[in-house]
Amino acid sequence: MQRRLYQGRDFRRAQNIEELREMARRRLPNFSFEYVEGGSDDEVTLKRNRAIFESVTLQPRTLRDVGQRTLERSFFNKPAQLPFMVGPTGFNGLLTQDGDLQLARAAANAGIPFVLSNASTTSMEDIASVDNIRAWMQIYLYRTRDHVARLVERAQRLNLEAIVVTTDSAILGNREWDKRNYVKPLLLDVRNHLDVLCHPRWIWDVLVPNGVPRFKNLGDLLPPGQDTVKGAASALAAELDPSLNWDDIAWLRDMWRGKLIVKGMIHPDDARLAMQYGVDGVVLSNHGGRQLDGAVSAMETLPEVARICRGQMEVFLDGGFRRGSDIAKALLLGASGVLIGRAGIYGLAAGKGPGAAHAIDILRNELDRTLGLLGCCRLEELTPDLIHAPHWRALAEAIRN
Domains of the chain, earliest start first:
11-176+236-400 (3.20.20.70)
Instruction: Find the catalytic residue in 147, 199, 287, 358.
Output: 287
Half-sphere exposure of 348 (CA within 13 A, CB side): 30
> Quick one: pLDDT at residue 210?
83
pTM score, whole prediction: 0.96
Residues annotated as binding site for glyoxylate?
Answer: 35, 140, 175, 263, 287, 290
**Looking at the DSSP assignment, which residues form a beta bridge with residue 91?**
none
Specify the higher pLDDT residue, 119 or 314: 314
- Whole-number Å distance between alpha carbons of 44 and 369: 31
Q: pLDDT tens for residues 11-21?
A: 999 999 999 99
Q: pLDDT tens for residues 210-223?
A: 888 888 888 778 77
Q: pLDDT tens for residues 130-180?
A: 999 999 999 999 988 999 999 999 999 999 999 999 999 889 899 999 889
- How many of the other CB atoms lie within 10 Å of CB of 65? 7
> Quick one: pLDDT at residue 229?
66
Residue 24: strand, helix, or coil: helix
Distances (CA, A) of 1 to 4, 18: 9, 20
Q: Residue range 237-252: average pLDDT?
A: 91
Residues annotated as binding site?
Answer: 35, 88-90, 117, 138, 140, 166, 175, 263, 285, 287, 290, 318-322, 341-342
SS3 content of the chain, % helix, strand, coil (to 5): 45, 15, 40
β-pair type (281-284, 259-265): parallel
- 363 contacts 84 by C-beta, under 8 angstroms: yes
Active site residue 287: yes
Residues annotated as binding site for FMN?
Answer: 88-90, 117, 138, 166, 285, 318-322, 341-342
